[in-house]
Structure 1
Amino acid sequence: MKVVIKPIFFAITAILISPVTFCYFALAQIANRDELISSFSQLLSLLPGKISCYLRSGFYRFTLTSCSPDAIICFGTLLSQRDTEIGSGAYIGPQCNIGRSSIGKNTLLGSGVHIMSGKGQHKFDDLSTPIREQGGSFEKVSIGENCWLGNGTLVMANIGNNCIVGAGSVVTKALPANSIAHGNPCHVVQYRRNEHG
Structure 2
Amino acid sequence: MKATEPIDRRPSSGATCRTGAKRGVDLLAAAVTLPAWAAYRLSAAALGAERAFPGYAQAFALLPGLCGVTLRRAFFRQTLRACGRDVHVGFGALLTSPETTLGARCYVGPYCVLGAVDVGEDALLGSAVSVTNGGRQHGIDRLDMPVREQPGEWPRVAIGRDAWVGDRAVVMADVGEQAVIAAAAVVTGPVGPRQIMAGVPARAIGERGAVRDNRPPTPATAASSVGGGD
TM-score (norm 2): 0.82
Once residues 70 and 39 of structure 1 are traced to their aligned partners in structure 2, the CA distance between those partners, rounded to angstroms, is 23
Which residue identity lines up with residue 58 of structure 1 in the other structure?
A
Q: Tell me which residue corresponds to 2:3.
A: none
Could you tell me which of 44, 48, 57 is aligned with 1:41?
A: 57
Q: Does 1:111 align with 2:111?
A: no
- 1:117-166 Cα deviation digits (max 9, x unpaired): 11221111111000011132211100001111110000000000001111
Aligned-residue sequence identity (percent) comes to: 32
Residue by residue over 1:70-116, the C-alpha shift from the partner in whole angstroms, topping out at 9 and shown as x without a partner, is 10111111111111110111111111100010000111111000000
Aligned to 2:20: 4
Q: Which residue of 1 aligns with 2:218?
A: none
User: How far has the Cα of 1:194 moved from its partner?
Assistant: 7.7
Q: Which runs of 5+ in 1 are unaligned?
A: none
Match of 1:180 in 2: 196
Query: 8 Å contact 1:169–1:184 — kept in the other structure?
Result: yes
Q: Pairwise CA RMSD of aligned residues? A: 1.3
Paired AA for residue 20 in structure 1: A
- What SS does structure 2 have at the residue aligned with 1:51? helix
CA distance in 1, matches of 2:22, 2:65: 18
Q: Residues 42-80 of structure 1: CA distance to partner in whole angstroms, max 9, x if unpaired?
A: 111111111111211111111111012410111111111
Structure 2, unpaired ranges of 5+: 1-16, 212-230
Where does residue 185 of structure 2 map in the other structure? 169
2:148 alignment partner in structure 1: 132
Given the alignment of the two structures, is residue 51 of structure 1 paired with residue 64 of structure 2, yes or no?
no
In 1, the alpha carbon distance for the partners of 2:29 and 2:84 equals: 13
Aligned to 1:12, the other structure's residue is in SS state helix
Q: Identify the match of residue 94 of structure 1 among 80, 102, 110.
A: 110
Range moving further from structure 2, 176-185 or 1-10: 1-10
TM-score of the superposed pair, with normalisation by structure 1: 0.95
Q: For residue 30 of structure 1, report the CA deviation from its aligned partner.
A: 0.8
Q: Secondary structure of 1:140's partner?
A: coil
2:95 aligned partner: 79
Higher relative contact order (CA 8 A, sep 6+): 1
Structure 2 distance, partners of 1:99, 1:181, is: 21
Partner of 2:12: none
